[in-house]
Chains A and B, each alone.
Chain A
Amino acid sequence: MEINQIQDEIIDEFGFFGDWMEKYEYIIDLGKSLPLIEEQYKDESHLIKGCQSQVWLHAAEMDGKVQFTADSDAVITKGIIALLIRVLSGQKPKDISHADLYFIEKIGLKEHLSPTRSNGLVSMVKQMKMYGLALQAKP
């Protein structure tokens, strides 16, 4: 599925939540069930340091597509990571580097991707796009 199709799907899913609590309970569940990054990648070189929470991100290319795995020490951050991975993992490098991640605002989680939150997510999205850009350049 293409990036925007997945984004629209997520927006539809979030439309069913009655209030913030249901929404956050779902994100917390996502965070708890996110397949973790392999232990070997949970090191300093994969760490994106936020002021509030930390994120580890690993990217690998397979058949012209980028596979992301990630983790965080905070569960809400992790839940949002699960959504970002659902949208961007398994996509072509070019599509990743050009992606407009409008779903975050549409599902009302924009505040978590604000630089002032400093939870590592803004840098993580930047890093994901950088991987997309770098892998495109590969011959």
Chain B
Amino acid sequence: MESTATPAIRTLEEIRKDFPLLEREMNGQPLAFLDSAASSQKPNAVIQKIARYYEQEHANVHRGVYQISQEATTAFEEARELARELINAPSAEEVIFVRGTTEGINLVASSYSRKFIQQGDAVLITAMEHHSNIVPWQMACEAQGAELRVAPINDAGELLLEELYAMLDDKVKMVALTHVSNSMGTINPVKSIISRAHTLGIPVLVDGAQAIPHMKVDVQELDADFYTFSGHKMFGPTGVGILYGKREWLDAMPPYHGGGEMIKTVTFEKTTYNELPHKFEAGTPDIAGVIGLGEAIRYMNSIGHGRIQEHEHNLLAYATEALSQIEGLRIIGTAQDKASVVSFIVDGVHPYDLGALLDKQGIAVRTGHHCTQPLMDRFGIPGTVRASLAFYNNQTDIDRLVAGVKRALNMLR
């Protein structure tokens, strides 16, 4: 038989089978995993890549002259190149491996603020930020004697752009905002905001943790000064993530952590620092994590961003429509532009109770404030039930969620 030139496109049901965890049961029920915004599941390709690395390819990177160390270094740097390509960064030196989005933001907040934020300056964030994009800036502002400004949102969970723009002045030395809200799914118009901030010479950091798993991101098109995301939310391992920064900023910023790898020469009097990206990568990195992350990027590329986005968009619409039919259910976050998250509350029902009864039915959702307490306060609610989607979810997952919520409400009301 002749082999065809291009492999047949796998159906999403076939792709779902790449994720072994999705086959397991929870509380004796088939699993409907709807908590990918907290952390996504891992495909076999990633799991096997990490196992193979430890079995056959492990040695420290950037150190040894022997073959295995050099192979590990090559694999490590290949992953950096894959990450560069994923976000279309101009160069691999601007792609820093960090532990995750939280560390990426902490790195910038700490290092940038020491050099560029003085007493009386300000940092602008938004009302929908994750605690990870609030607390590091609070700490930096406190240390430097700067002010933290918070741009407001409307009842749909969208940024009030005119208010945000009015808060930009020459005191503001950084704008830090999320690309996609983890609690509501709102997609922020980061490109417009960046362009506006740049007219005043203000750099912008984008928290991309919830964007990267769902959409194609091009940091050059956005003109983002910093863009950071986590591996574990994009089908890669935990404990590894990416911080992209424009070279002009990264060169000007002091190192974050000191140690091995980030130095050029060390004497007790004076240390000179290594070039990018190593300047910001002190100590032995999470090599297995980085290589696993590289494999996750390859895997996502093999499915295609367009296909991921289209499937999730349809599924989100389906879920929103079906949940809206439930009496007393209110969706929190009804922005025009949304990605992969449907957050809701039900009149007179605590999210914890709903979450506990969904758990019993094999349905994994997140309940609580989703690390966005100020946002929950804004809506005057203790938290929400959040169902978040990935491309491996299907209509059955949504049907089970809807039936599960109805059953739980029958018990609770």
B313-360 residues with Cβ-Cβ distance < 8 A to A are 350-353, 355-357, 359-360
Question: Quick one: closest A residue to B368, CB to CB?
Answer: A52
Per-residue contact bits, chain B 25-52, to A (CB 8 Å; 1 contact, 0 not): 0010000000000000000000000000
**Is the Cβ of B350 less than 8 Å from the Cβ of A24?**
no
Task: List, in ascending order, chain A residues with CB within 8 A of B232's CB.
Answer: none
Tell me how far the C-beta of A84 lies from the nearest C-beta in chain B, rounded to whole angstroms. 17
**Is the Cβ of B352 less than 8 Å from the Cβ of A77?**
yes
Q: Which of A24, A73, A118 contacts B357 (CB 8 A)?
A: A24
Task: List, in ascending order, chain B residues with CB within 8 A of A112's CB.
Answer: 356
**Is the Cβ of B360 less than 8 Å from the Cβ of A119?**
no
Question: Quick one: closest A residue to B361, CB to CB?
Answer: A20
**Is the Cβ of B411 less than 8 Å from the Cβ of A119?**
no
Whether a CB of chain B sits under 8 angstroms from the CB of A25 is yes
**Is the Cβ of B353 less than 8 Å from the Cβ of A75?**
yes
Whether a CB of chain A sits under 8 angstroms from the CB of B383 is yes
Task: List, in ascending order, chain A residues with CB within 8 A of B382's CB.
Answer: 53-54, 73
Q: Which of B359, B360, B368, B411 contacts A28 (CB 8 A)?
A: B411
Q: Which of B350, B355, B411, B412 contacts A73 (CB 8 A)?
A: B350
Whether a CB of chain A sits under 8 angstroms from the CB of B369 is yes
Tell me how far the C-beta of A106 lies from the nearest C-beta in chain B, rounded to whole angstroms. 18
Tell me how far the C-beta of A83 lies from the nearest C-beta in chain B, rounded to whole angstroms. 15
B367-393 residues with Cβ-Cβ distance < 8 A to A are 367-369, 382-383
Task: List, in ascending order, chain A residues with CB within 8 A of B355's CB.
Answer: 52
Distance in angstroms between the alpha carbons of A24 and B404 in the assembled complex: 14
Given A20-B27, A24-B357, does the pair A74, B352 have CB atoms closer than 8 Å?
yes
Whether a CB of chain B sits under 8 angstroms from the CB of A1 is no
Distance in angstroms between the alpha carbons of A112 and B27 in the assembled complex: 14
Whether a CB of chain B sits under 8 angstroms from the CB of A62 is no
Whether a CB of chain B sits under 8 angstroms from the CB of A21 is yes
Whether a CB of chain B sits under 8 angstroms from the CB of A76 is yes
**Is the Cβ of A52 less than 8 Å from the Cβ of B411?**
no
Per-residue contact bits, chain A 8-21, to B (CB 8 Å; 1 contact, 0 not): 00000000000011
Interface size class of A (residues with CB under 8 A): 10 to 19
Whether a CB of chain B sits under 8 angstroms from the CB of A51 is yes
Given A25-B411, A28-B412, A52-B367, does the pair A76, B356 have CB atoms closer than 8 Å?
yes
Tell me how far the C-beta of B51 lies from the nearest C-beta in chain A, rounded to whole angstroms. 27
Number of residues of chain B lying within 8 A (CB) of chain A: 17
Task: List, in ascending order, chain B residues with CB within 8 A of A24's CB.
Answer: 356-357, 360, 411
**Is the Cβ of A51 less than 8 Å from the Cβ of B368?**
yes
Task: List, in ascending order, chain A residues with CB within 8 A of B353's CB.
Answer: 28, 74-77
B1-32 residues with Cβ-Cβ distance < 8 A to A are 27
Distance in angstroms between the alpha carbons of A77 and B412 in the assembled complex: 13
Question: Quick one: closest B residue to A31, CB to CB?
Answer: B353
Tell me how far the C-beta of B32 lies from the nearest C-beta in chain A, rounded to whole angstroms. 16
Question: Quick one: closest A residue to B355, CB to CB?
Answer: A52
Interface centre among B367, B382, B412 (most CB of A within 10 A): B412
Q: Which of A20, A53, A118 contacts B350 (CB 8 A)?
A: A53
**Is the Cβ of B369 less than 8 Å from the Cβ of A51?**
yes
**Is the Cβ of B411 less than 8 Å from the Cβ of A74?**
no
Distance in angstroms between the alpha carbons of A20 and B383 in the assembled complex: 25
**Is the Cβ of B368 less than 8 Å from the Cβ of A20?**
no
Tell me how far the C-beta of B101 lies from the nearest C-beta in chain A, rounded to whole angstroms. 20
Distance in angstroms between the alpha carbons of A73 and B383 in the assembled complex: 12
**Is the Cβ of B360 less than 8 Å from the Cβ of A53?**
no
**Is the Cβ of A119 less than 8 Å from the Cβ of B27?**
no
Tell me how far the C-beta of A14 lies from the nearest C-beta in chain B, rounded to whole angstroms. 15
Distance in angstroms between the alpha carbons of A111 and B275 in the assembled complex: 49
Tell me how far the C-beta of B372 lies from the nearest C-beta in chain A, rounded to whole angstroms. 12
A58-99 residues with Cβ-Cβ distance < 8 A to B are 73-77
Task: List, in ascending order, chain A residues with CB within 8 A of B357's CB.
Answer: 24, 76
Tell me how far the C-beta of A136 lies from the nearest C-beta in chain B, rounded to whole angstroms. 33
Task: List, in ascending order, chain B residues with CB within 8 A of A52's CB.
Answer: 351-352, 355, 367-368, 383
Task: List, in ascending order, chain A residues with CB within 8 A of B350's CB.
Answer: 53, 73-75
Distance in angstroms between the alpha carbons of A77 and B357 in the assembled complex: 12
Task: List, in ascending order, chain B residues with CB within 8 A of A25's CB.
Answer: 411
Distance in angstroms between the alpha carbons of A54 and B351 in the assembled complex: 12
Interface residues of A (CB under 8 A from B): 20-21, 24-25, 28, 51-54, 73-77, 111-112, 118-119
Known: A53-B350, A76-B352, A76-B353. 4 other contacts (CB 8 A): A28-B411, A52-B355, A74-B352, A118-B368
What are 13 A-B pairs at a CB distance below 8 A? A21-B360, A24-B357, A28-B353, A28-B412, A52-B355, A52-B383, A53-B382, A73-B382, A74-B350, A74-B351, A74-B352, A76-B352, A76-B357
